[in-house]
Amino acid sequence: MKDKQFAILGLGRFGEALAITLSELGCNVIVVDRDEEKVQNIANYVTYAVQADVSDINALKSIGLKNVDTAIIAITSDINSSIMGVVNAQELGIPRIYGKANNAQHEKVLLKLGVQKVFSPERDMGERVAHNLFSGDFIDVLELDTDHSIVEVDALPGWENHALDTLEMRSRYGLNVIAIRSQDNLNVSPLATDVIKPGDKLVVIGDNLSINDVTRQNQNGPKFR
């Protein structure tokens, strides 16, 4: 299988961590930044590190960026450079272009330019921490899109000692159970006849409204009927 090839334009903390992690996962990674020191510091960890201005289309062409599968424009300190990085990546014909934004206005601009996905690490982490602080139930949150997530929640008290098929999770709660975690075991293929025991946690997939509703019920302590 062809190795995945990424270009990271901008070496802030986000871009640097992204580049190194992708390299550790076995991907070919090209990084570009105007700061020579940043480029030198990461050179041994990636496939190719280049000091260049991402707004210079000719420089990007000479690097061979048109051959990568995905470009991530990770520049937030200079919105003009961020925009030109996106425009140049599009001109080079890179199939997938993602961006990093530091505020809602920046994100809106990138989306208007046609960026497929915009990352806002500070905002996303803040939302994740807020969910954990509010519920106390979420071990982790995997956001599938803006409306759906995979989360791990404590079983409601009324679910305990009931088999999954009697709870009618999908019709009554809008959730699909994809795993059950007990104190010493993770059941990744739960059967309809599996019984939820006291202290179990459920890994569920569903829309965020349904997940939040179950979270509130867990806090208020309603019983399943």
Architecture of domain 124-220: 2-Layer Sandwich (3.30)
The answer to whether residues 192 and 164 touch, using CB atoms and an 8 Å cutoff, is: yes
Give the mean model confidence (pLDDT) for residues 76-93. Answer: 94
Q: Which residue has the higher pLDDT, 44 or 182?
A: 44
Would you state the structure tokens that stand for residue 101, as one six-digit string?
């934004």
Residue 224 pLDDT more than 80?
no
Q: How many residues does the chain have?
A: 225
pLDDT tens digit string along 191-211? Answer: 999 999 998 989 888 888 888
Cross-sheet strand order for the sheet of 48-51: 48-51, 28-33, 5-9, 70-73, 96-100, 117-119
User: Tokens at residue 211, please?
Assistant: 């997940």
Q: Six-digit token pair at 70?
A: 């995905």
Where are the chain's structural domains?
A: 5-119, 124-220
CATH classification code of 5-119: 3.40.50.720
* pLDDT higher than 80, residue 133: no
